[in-house]
Amino acid sequence: MISKTYIETMARYNCWQNQSIFREADMLGDGERRKDRGAFFGSIHRTLSHIMWGDTMWMHRFSGSDLPAITDITKSGELIEDWQELKLQRSQMDERILKWADATDENIGERDLSWYSGLLQKDLTKPYGLLITHFFNHQTHHRGQVHAMITAAGGKPDDTDLGFMPDNIEFRQL
């Protein structure tokens, strides 16, 4: 079972890593961010857009917030085309995730969550704890791809080790 502390820690980790990734991606320039680098979603920009899409979908399921403008996962890399808008929405999402994590109760992992999967075209019910773990794992997985693409392009994102996360991670606009 997951704990409230786990959820809060992972929300802070998400915020810390996004600050690092977006700082470095910002320095690359638009052409480098949009260059197809062979990742599943192609480019840095499209992968970051997909992460935003996934976070929006899961936060909708977890908290009832709005669905993304695009609900088709195959078009998720196109969710936010403008870099400045992607940064703004990423900042807003990170703040939303931090607030959601703070508001969760200690027993959230013991309940089930039901939702309709557009990908599988059916209703699903899974343990909330498993889905929250997936939510944070999905971010980390794709951010790892972005980290590798940025590093290959000459950027130097922060270390990704959870154990090295500073104790005083604070939300800030990207």
Domain layout of the chain by residue ranges: 4-164
Question: Is-contact 52 85, C-beta < 8 A?
Answer: no
- Structure tokens of 73? 């996962």
Separation of alpha carbons 152 and 169, rounded Å: 26
State the Cα–Cα distance between residues 131 and 113, nearest whole angstrom: 8
Q: How far is CA 97 from CA 35, 81, 94, 121, in A?
A: 29, 22, 5, 27
CATH class of 4-164: mainly alpha
Instruction: Say which amino acid occupies 100.
Output: W
- pLDDT tens for the chain, residues 1 to 174: 799 999 999 999 999 999 999 999 999 999 999 999 999 999 999 999 999 999 999 999 999 999 999 999 999 999 999 999 999 999 999 999 999 999 999 999 899 999 999 889 999 999 999 999 999 999 999 999 999 999 999 999 999 999 999 988 878 888
In the chain, the amino acid numbered 159 is: D
pLDDT of residue 174: 85
Full-model pTM: 0.95
